[in-house]
Amino acid sequence: MLRYLEPFRAKRIRNQKRMIAKARRAASLLFEQPCNQTYYIDLNGINRPLATWKDVFNARDTFAHRYYDHLRGCSCWMCGNPRKYYNSPTIQERRAYESARNQFEEQGLRFKAWRFSKSKS
C-alpha cells in the first residue's frame, strides 16, 4: 500500500487553517453574544463595541487571525508540573497516596510513606 506524502507547503497551509478554526472555537467562548459593555480591538487598532451579531462575528474572526499561532496553554512555574520545578508529587499522585494510605489504615496495616528523591534520573 502506497502512503501519500503531503507537500510541505500544503501541510503548512492545512495546519494554518486548522489552527485558525481552533482559534475561532476559542473566540466563541470569549465573545458569546452582543453586549455594549464589551469591546474588542479590530485589525486596524480601533476599539469597537460588540453591539450586534455582526460585531461579535468580526471580533471572533479578528481574534482567530491574530492569535491562531500561539494558543498554547501556560507552562510557567506556577501552572506547570510541580515535579519539574519543586520535585514534589502531582495532585493525582497525592490523591493516589491518600487513597492507598486510607485503605491500609482500614485494614489495620502500616503504610510506608513515599519519598521523592532529589536526584534526577
**Domains of the chain: which residue ranges?**
9-67, 75-116
Residue with cell 494510605: 101
Residue 105 pLDDT exceeds 50:
yes
The separation between CA 17 and the C-alpha centre of its own chain, rounded to angstroms, equals: 19
Q: Percentage of residues in the chain with pLDDT exceeding 90? A: 24
Pairing of strands 47-50, 35-41: antiparallel
37 pLDDT band, cuts 50/70/90, is confident
Choice between 77 and 9, residue whose per-residue pLDDT is larger: 9
Backbone angles phi, psi at 18, to 5 degrees: -65, -40
pLDDT at 114: 62
Q: How many C-beta atoms lie closer than 10 Å to residue 23's C-beta?
A: 21
pTM of the model: 0.55
pLDDT at 121: 46
